[in-house]
């Protein structure tokens, strides 16, 4: 391995590891939820779990694989519209407040979409062009942001169910937590756009 190859390997390995870690974390967060749980959109400001899983995948497909992996073809052309959010330059978008009616594609198909994009990303990550690295990091931070949204959105959905289902029945107050959890007052007004 020459000096350039060694440097490429040094750069590539942590990115590939981080990619795998972040993508796996999303699936871990969705794992306790049934396919029915994953379709629910409890208010226009929230998105279904399944949509978060697909939209974060759409990001890598649209901004990394299509422009940078030779020969890559979209997993499904319809996903380009269904799972775009606010990216006007990336084409038309399914209405945000109607994400909850997307019973199709199902959770299993979204899982297959994620797996296919991850496999293609693995090819790209073997020898990523320099311009890919900041975009991959952007995609990973975007996905981490959606992981937070996935949790807040499903907690809101579950909170409206009279059966009072818990997202995680094994959750306990973290050791060292000070005082009981409570709401804090803050400035009131309109929030910004969610990603």
Q: Which residues bind Fe ion (CB under 5 A)?
A: 85, 195
Residue whose C-beta lies closest to Fe ion: 195
Q: Which of 26/85 has CB closer to Fe ion?
A: 85
Q: How many CA atoms lie within 13 A of 70 on its CB side?
A: 3
CB of 83 to Fe ion, least distance (A): 9
Minimal distance in Å, beta carbon 143 to Fe ion?
8
Quote the least distance from Cβ 134 to Fe ion, whole Å: 17
To Fe ion, the closest distance from the beta carbon of 75 in angstroms equals: 18
Q: Do residues 68 and 46 touch, judged by C-beta distance below 8 A? A: no
| Cβ distance to Fe ion smaller for residue 42 or 147 | 147
User: Considering beta carbons, is residue 85 or 107 the nearer one to Fe ion?
Assistant: 85
Q: How far apart are CA 20 and CA 7, in angstroms?
A: 21
Compute the half-sphere exposure of residue 172: CA atoms within 13 Å on the CB side of its CA: 4
Q: Quick one: 32 or 195, whose CB is closer to Fe ion?
A: 195
Instruction: Give least dist CB 195 to Fe ion, A.
Output: 4
Among 128, 5, 153, smallest CA distance to 68 is for 128
Checking phi first, is residue 174 left (phi over 0); if not, alpha (psi -120 to 50) or beta?
Answer: beta
Q: What are the distances in angstroms from CA 167 to CA 4, 14, 98, 99, 135?
A: 47, 32, 23, 21, 32
Assigned token pair, 39: 């379709």
For Fe ion, the closer CB: 57 or 85: 85
CA–CA separation, 133 and 128 (whole Å) = 7
């Amino acid at each position: 391995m020459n000096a350039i190859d060694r440097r490429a390997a040094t750069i590539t390995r942590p990115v590939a590891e981080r990619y795998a870690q972040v993508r796996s974390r999303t699936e871990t967060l969705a794992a306790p939820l049934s396919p029915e749980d994953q379709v629910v959109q409890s208010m226009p400001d929230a998105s279904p779990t399944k949509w978060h899983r697909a939209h974060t995948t759409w990001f890598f497909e649209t901004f990394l694989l299509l422009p940078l992996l030779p020969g890559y073809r979209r997993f499904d052309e319809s996903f380009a519209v269904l799972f775009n959010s606010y990216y006007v330059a990336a084409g038309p978008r399914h209405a945000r407040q109607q994400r909850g009616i997307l019973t199709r594609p199902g959770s299993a198909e979204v899982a297959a979409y994620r797996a296919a994009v991850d496999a293609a990303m693995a090819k790209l990550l073997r020898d990523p062009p320099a311009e890919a690295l900041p975009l991959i990091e952007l995609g990973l931070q975007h996905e981490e942001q959606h992981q937070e949204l996935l949790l807040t959105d499903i907690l809101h959905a579950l909170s409206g169910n009279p059966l009072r289902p818990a997202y995680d029945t094994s959750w306990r107050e973290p050791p060292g937590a000070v005082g009981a959890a409570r709401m804090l007052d803050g400035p009131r007004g309109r929030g910004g756009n969610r990603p």
